[in-house]
Amino acid sequence: MRKYHLLAPGPTPVPPQVLEAMARPLVHHRTKDFEALFAEVRAGLSWLHQDKGDVIILAASGTGGMEAAVANLLSPGDGALVVEGGKFGERWTEICKAYGMAADVLRVEPGYSLRLDELESRLDPARHKAVFVQASETSTGAKHDVRALGGLLKRKAPGTLLVVDAITALGVYDLRPAEWGIDAVVGGSQKALMLPPGLATIWLSERAWAAAAKSRSPRYYFDLRIERKVQAKNTTAWTPAISLIVGLKVALGMMREEGLDAIFKRHARLAAGAQAAAGALGLDIFPQDLRSESVTAVRVPEGVNGKAIPDRMQDAYGVTIAGGQGELAGKIFRIGHLGYVDESDVLTAVGALENVLTDLGRRVERGAGVAAAQKMLLG
């Protein structure tokens, strides 16, 4: 018998009450029952975005939400500035290119956070119709300060839209798009929303909606103008991912019960616990500036086969974490602690990590990481 412990930065564990709701007989989406359910989910998502505005729900993975943002806010030939601090920043560039936008890349060394002075020196308000960025760059564990970025754009480039991939930030730490001058926020279901993959969410500011009305980009499935009109009537343009929306109602109910403040504090505490454990085991945290509360990225110590760490965590101890992606493969490993994750989960992962490092020939004092995390997590 082997229990399965999912501590990846997505997909994340799904609570039993969400699984149970999704297992019930399917409701048809063109019914009053579904409309009532959809209305409740839409209200819950607005609450999560700390704004009254519409949040559009799409049947897609998070990347679909990113694509919808690019296709709806810009037109072919438009200039954009993309903050590339890792794999997901690169994805913004790739989508912009696919839609014929002229993406200028502001490369941020992996593990570092965006420096506003660097962005300011690259920013051309006449050319850049939008700035694309990650709130939490899951591939490196670094955070970019989107609040400060919003403030900078308000002052220096008031016509430039700020488009934020918040896929591992939404429901993890404070994000106030309307207040902070953000124009688009993209979310994904398999992260802090505590669902399986398959839903993307997108919130837009009023001026982003105005841009969507003017965009000349080709769109069909991801036409947010159509979705906004239809979703305001509590239905969807196409067949929605009904089961996931049923699950989302339960997940949002759990989130409301916990409260935003408590949710943010829990994630901060879990991140602090994981980071303390890494420190006590003599490991270095990979992000050098701002650390995301959703994932702890740790540098693989000298002499240890980095790719073997996640494999052995899973195969020998039943704990799923993530390795590094792209150029970081084998150089870092990442422990996800977002969504339906608590103190005991992090302690389990740290305990398994101590064993894995020992198995792979690294001398660690077993128990040291657990003790450090315990102090941080349980006081």
Ligand X SMILES: Cc1ncc(COP(=O)(O)O)c(C=O)c1O
32-56 residues labelled b (16+ CB within 10 A) or e (exposed): eebeebbebbbebbeebbebeebbb
Nearer to ligand X, 10 or 369 (CB): 10
Find the shortest distance in angstroms from Cβ 95 to ligand X. Answer: 11
Q: For 10, left (φ over 0), alpha (ψ -120 to 50), or beta? A: left
Find the shortest distance in angstroms from Cβ 65 to ligand X. Answer: 8
Find the shortest distance in angstroms from Cβ 121 to ligand X. Answer: 25
Q: Which residue's structure tokens are 């900078």?
A: 152
Name the site residues for ligand X (rule: CB under 6 A): 10, 61-63, 88, 134, 136, 138, 165, 167-168, 188, 197
Nearer to ligand X, 78 or 165 (CB): 165
Angle, helix 260-280 to helix 242-258, in steps of 10 degrees: 90
Which pair of structure tokens corresponds to residue 12?
């994340």
Angle, helix 206-214 to helix 224-231, in steps of 10 degrees: 130
Q: How far apart are CA 25 and CA 45, in angstroms?
A: 24
Nearer to ligand X, 17 or 61 (CB): 61
Find the shortest distance in angstroms from Cβ 360 to ligand X. Answer: 26
Which residue in the shown chain puts its C-beta closest to ligand X? Answer: 62
Nearer to ligand X, 37 or 135 (CB): 135
Which pair of structure tokens corresponds to residue 354?
């101590």
Nearer to ligand X, 60 or 276 (CB): 60
Find the shortest distance in angstroms from Cβ 357 to ligand X. Answer: 25
Q: Which residue's structure tokens are 């063109």?
A: 30
